[in-house]
Each structure stands twice: as structure tokens, then as C-alpha cells.
Amino acid sequence: MAPSSLIGAVRERRRRKSASPGARFWARRGRIRHESHEAARDRMRVLFVCLGNICRSPTAEVVFRAIAAREARDLVIDTDSAGTAGYHIGAAPDARSQQAARRRGYDMSALRARVVAPEDFERFDLILAMDRENLTVLRRRAPRERQDRIRLFLEFAPDLGTSEVPDPYYGGPNGFEEVLDLVEGAARALVAHLRRERQAQPV
């Protein structure tokens, strides 16, 4: 699936799901949150993934959420983050990541690490890996029919000159600043891409 077809693909999946007998049953049971037809059709669910879910992916989650809320209020986006390994399940983001984020106005303190679950491949429309190693792990775990949802985060920002967000865990404080620089640039590029795509879709 080409990047330009993201929202169109989401709309089609929403249409099929809402038309299924199971969806109608749960709607009658009151288990589906009611929202406008347009909002439901265009809602995007984005998952950011790194190794342990305590540095890069939670940074991407909070930064993307903040930039989308500030610069693209017309978009309806749910965000989350997870890791491919269970080293830090239930832990708060790395203190160094939190400190660097706070200096730029982002609060990560409420987040807790988790591992990518099998249902994430169904739930999320876009699963964005921080580097190729995690991209490979995700593609190995994902069902064949969900492979097109998995991409590198930085592919949406080719002007950054790199395709991976480096792991800052074993480095110095500059590594966490570099992560923020890359994530902020990629988040803005992704938001802009989704806005252009939404505007190009028929109403």
C-alpha cells in the first residue's frame, strides 16, 4: 500500500467493520462509542514502536500527539507506543528521556512500557518502527495481511537525511536531544502528510 492511500484504506476498513454482523451486534449492546460518521470514518490509530518502550517510542507518542493537537485539529488520531521486547514492562519512560522532553514542553510521566501484542496488528492502522531492527521484528510477528501497516517512522520525513531514530539508552544526554530533533521533524511531516491526504479524499 502506498503512503498516499492511508486514509482511503482506513475508510474502507471502517466501512467493512461497521457493516459486519459483529459490529452491528456490539452497537446494539452499546459497546461502540458513538461519534459522527465522518470522525469514525477518518479516525487513524497510530502505534510507535522501539525496543523497550522507555525512550524513543514514548517520545514519539507524546510529541506526535502534541503536534497533531496543535497543528491539525481537524484530524482524529489515537496514538500509543510499545516495545518489541519485554525488558521494562510497566516502567515509566527513562528519566533522561523525560527530562529532555520536559525541556521542550512534553510530559511523558503518565506513560508505562508495554510490549506489542498480537491484537495491535489489527487495532492500529499505522505501526511505525524507530529502526530497521524493530521493523524486521514487527514484520516477522505480523500476519501476512497486516504487513502493509508496518513502516519506518522516518520514511515520512526523507529531508531529515536518515531513516532510523538511534537508540540513546547507552549514550550521553545529546542522544536524547537528537531523538527529539528527529521525532519532532518526523511528527510534523507525518501530520502534514495525513492532512494533505485527508483533504484529497472525497467527502
Q: Cell numbers of 175, please?
A: 542522544
CATH architecture of 43-200: 3-Layer(aba) Sandwich (3.40)
DSSP assignment letter at 91: P
Identified catalytic residue from 42, 50, 120, 125? 50
How far apart, in whole angstroms, are the C-alpha atoms of residue 131 and residue 135? 6
Identified catalytic residue from 120, 125, 167, 188? 167
Identify the residue whose cell numbers are 490509530. 45
Give me the pLDDT at residue 16, please: 57
Note if 167 is an active site residue: yes
Note if 42 is an active site residue: no
Across the 203 residues of the chain, what is the mean pLDDT of every consecutive 10-residue run? 57 54 38 45 90 98 97 93 97 98 98 98 98 98 97 98 97 96 98 89 69
Note if 55 is an active site residue: no
Q: Cell numbers of 187, please?
A: 511528527
Half-sphere exposure of residue 150: CA atoms within 13 angstroms, side-chain side: 24
Instruction: Write out the residue limits of the CATH 3.40.50.2300 domain(s) in the chain.
Output: 43-200
Identified catalytic residue from 11, 42, 55, 56? 56
Is pTM beyond 0.85 here? no
